[in-house]
Amino acid sequence: MHDVDEPSFGLEHNGPTDDAVDPRDVAAGIRDLLAQQRFAVLCTQGGEQPYGSLIAYAVDDGLETAVFSTARATRKYNLLKACSRVALVVDSRPSYPDDLMKVEAITATGRVRELEDKERGPWAAMLIARHPQLRAFVTSPSTAVFKVEMVRYLYVTRFQEVHQWVPGPSRNARCS
């Protein structure tokens, strides 16, 4: 997927402290938050309405791909089949209930697709490794495994500092 497939939300830079923020630090912050938080809100849309669903997820080491599962007989499944553009929202509110300045949040945008049986094995294994309690659910024939190709991360720190990071081998060294 290319940057032109999705708007950049008008973020030309990372804010007033942009020169002081190393993109590797932003990527490390994103990686740490995703490792600490095991659940995300999956944002979809359908019938001109937004919809949010809680999901258990796993992300690859390069932060380029996320994976999750859902039963095929759900609204979530139908919305995902109807529109491939999604966002995942992950935050650290449970860790800092009394100090919003310490809360971090990520909105990761991307494109989702259901994995075919022949390709789902390693991705399902990655999801099960992170969430072993979901083994029976993930391996059930009535469950779909979805892969999200990440386009961009918006990483919010200190309640209002927004950093944009684009995954990929040729882009890890920059924020845009």
Q: How many folded domains does the chain comprise?
A: 1
The CATH number of whichever domain residue 80 belongs to comes to 2.30.110.10
Question: What SS3 class is residue 155?
Answer: strand
CA distance 18 to 88: 24
CA distance 70 to 66: 14
**Domain for residue 171, yes or no?**
no
Domain residues for 62?
A: 3-163
**Domain for residue 173, yes or no?**
no
Q: What pTM was estimated for this model as a whole?
A: 0.84
Q: Is the pLDDT of residue 10 over 80?
A: no
**Domain for residue 172, yes or no?**
no
- Size of the chain, expressed as the number of residues it contains: 176
**23 contacts 165 by C-beta, under 8 angstroms:** yes
| Mean pLDDT, the chain, integer | 87
**Domain for residue 85, yes or no?**
yes
**Domain for residue 175, yes or no?**
no
Q: For residue range 66-110, list pLDDT tens digits in order.
A: 999 999 999 999 999 999 999 999 999 888 888 888 899 999 999
**Domain for residue 66, yes or no?**
yes
CA distance 92 to 112: 24
